[in-house]
Structures are given as C-alpha cells and as structure tokens.
Amino acid sequence: MVDSLNRITRQSSGQIDLLQIHDDLKEVEIREAYEVLKRSFVDRPAHQIILDIKNLQVLSQGSIELLRKLVGFFQSLDLPLVLIGAERLSPADLIEVSQGFPVMDNLEEARVYFGSEEDSKILKKAEGSKPA
C-alpha cells in the first residue's frame, strides 16, 4: 500500500463503503492515491459511498482536486454518494465537488439517508475512529 493511503481509509460493511480522508496530500500523492483508490473500487465494488472529509486538516487545492476526481469516478459508476464535512469548502468548490450529491453533517445523517440499519454497522464503528 502506498504511503499516501495511510491518510485515507476505506471501510466496508454490507452495502456501504466509508472513505475517510484524514490529511492533506501533495500533488504527486494525489495522482498515486487516486489510481490506487480507483483500482480498489473496481476490484472490490461498492453499492453506496460515504466520503468523509471532516478530519481533513487542510483543504488545499490538491485535496479539492482529489475530491473532484473521486466524486466524478463514483458518478461514472452510478454509485449513490453522500459527502460529510464538505460544508468547509467554498461555495464554488462545494458545487463543483459535490456535483449534486447530498452533503451531510455527520455519519448518523448519512446512515439515515441510506436507510439500512444492518448495513450501517461500519458507521457506528467509524464515529469513534481517529486518524492513525
């Protein structure tokens, strides 16, 4: 696994995959992380995605570019997506990054949105998790 992915975690439970970005990435790391994540979702498909950036310390242009790429990729796979923590983005970046997907405040709201108690065990575990 690439070093840049130490700052990105993917947790899967049933139908829902939670992707958390914990720290800012450099431009070269963004390309590498995006390609690895893309292969990961092709090799192990998801049905619903929660993209959580609440723990992201710095919202650099690189981080925003990675978010744009990931959201576009998930959209190309026609996957339902919820963004958490995206309210920190500027209005222009929020519109561009979210591409019309819902933006929520926390994991509980995302769990309710996806509506599956059984598939949301990952969310309850992740609420207490912290970056490594």
Write the DSSP string, 36-82. HHHHHHHHS--SEEEEE-TT-S---HHHHHHHHHHHHHHHHTT--EE
CA distance 123 to 116: 11
Collapsed DSSP state (helix, strand, coil) of residue 85:
coil
Instruction: Name the pTM for this structure.
Output: 0.78
**Nearest 5 degrees, angle CA 51-CA 16-CA 63?**
15
**pLDDT value of residue 116:** 58
Poorest-pLDDT segment among 22-31, 42-51, 93-102, 107-116: 22-31
CA distances from 43 to 4, 8, 46, 84, 104 (A): 19, 17, 10, 25, 28
How many CA atoms within 13 Å lie on the side-chain side of 102?
17
The domain covering 3-126 belongs, at the CATH homologous superfamily level, to STAS domain (3.30.750.24)
Contacts of residue 28, defined as CB under 8 A and 6 or more positions apart, other chains included, come to none
Q: What is the mean pLDDT of the chain?
A: 81
Contacts of residue 21, defined as CB under 8 A and 6 or more positions apart, other chains included, come to 7, 8, 51, 52, 53, 55, 56, 63, 66, 67
CA distance 13 to 123: 9
**pLDDT value of residue 63:** 84
Per-residue pLDDT reduced to its tens digit, 73-113: 999 999 999 999 988 888 998 988 988 899 998 888 888 88
Across the range 28-56, mean pLDDT stands at 89
Give me the residue spans of the domains in the chain.
Answer: 3-126
Across the range 7-12, mean pLDDT stands at 85
